[in-house]
Chains A and B, each alone.
Chain A
């Protein structure tokens, strides 16, 4: 009997000693994450699956009590940030399961999430975003025009995703704004094949201080069931294009999302696609903005179209001299028709196009502002006429 008791005691103690570091605290939650294995990259899929589980943990900790689209968008950013730097916000107590299921990587984690710290982080983020939109320190103004296409081919406009994009851009100091005219145009014309091109013309017409447009579409391509879960593929096609210039930063990629329901899988794919797109475009945009405002000067590159050139021999030299006086360097000149001359010029002597237009009118004898239509496609063009 004594021997039995001794053995029982030893065994109990050993089991306790072994599990003392791994027993979950009462507030711990079990979260799951899935990620597609793309091109055999198991390590990458494992990382993504863990991130997805972390996002679930954040949601589980603070609950989804948010109401407005801006709150939804900000919460998406909070999840992005915390899934990248989980320390102190979400701690992994134990990896319950980590396995490859065909083309999917699956993780199940026992985690402990600090709701208070996450709420504090969300509050800090809101303040940071508000500070970043301060006109004095923002790097550039971007209008956002992004639509979505579902599996049945129907287009729609979802403000949450636009707000999510705005918040992500604000994080890097780019001043993202939603213009009601552009949004209304998108809502009323989302199925038109050239809606993105026309949206730029509308943006140009109603812009305030913005200098670029982020236009794009998130298209649901397919959903299939793989190993008991749903895998959705979304094509993200985004372009960040100048309003005055035609410089463009592009993101085009097929992105997959996995979840236990079809709608969650689609949402995950869209969220991942948007996140990747904005991370990539924001980085490129910062370079473009730096180039456009090199050394504190605004680099304007634009097209000057002069019509009613009825006496080429006399008027062409006058235009050339006027452009030089206005500190414009002519890069290329074309003659689209016998009475029109087009010049592609660059200058860093002005901060806005309007100042350049006035300088040209003052420098070229007999010239006046022409009649370009506000709805013209493409980059800003200066229309002048004799």
Chain B
């Protein structure tokens, strides 16, 4: 029988405890991502003038608010061991629905509601198919991806500009911070989503069941947990996040277009993985996904600061980073098993 040795901690000096401190293992990957982010900024500030300014950091949030929201939804799904390929298409569909309903003269609140209901319903439908028909999440959400993209073209093949005043003013709005810094309202929304998600995942039964399902679905079932509700729920959450991300994207672009956000689901997955969430489920923190998005954003910032690099370097570096993180995870889980 093993016995804990926690009781003898009190007698040691503070320094001893500091030396002996090792962070809980679930935080390690997130710390790694954070270290990477800091490191990239270090390199950037040495190479390029003005790289490490506060506004550059804030712009990471401003330019990627929608992706943060997507990554949050994706984190829920991946934590259960699933995947959601439909999020990019749902973003495009959301911009189309917003733009077309606004053009048709709907009040902005109704347009927003229509977008959120559509996205959530789509996610819910995919979740039901995945759980009750035992369809692979990959296939079900692939179908959802084609469906949503196809619906975009059904609405219009042309780009639809958004001319609604509320959207226009929201898009132009900025919140001034001390020191001549600013962020947009979309940043606040995305950070609020992160905060709520973190709270749900750690403080509610639903959230802990997400982890339990990811750890072992059959165990969770035998423990009498609400597996069905969670498995369907995460896709509904992802659908909601995609449509909310779509609204933020619409504010960012001020248009609806069928070809918006092509491949964005892969950016979201990459961000989640780089943020330390295991693709097999059960391990990961939503804050990691936020950091993952910031890493992706930093790579883009690098390229725009350099000016001579082709934008394809973004994809190449994301690819390399993803590979490195997946391999690191592999070592991490190997150690876990042995």
Q: Do A and B come from one complex?
A: no
Q: Which residues of B contact A (CB under 8 A)?
A: none
Q: Which residues of A contact B (CB under 8 A)?
A: none
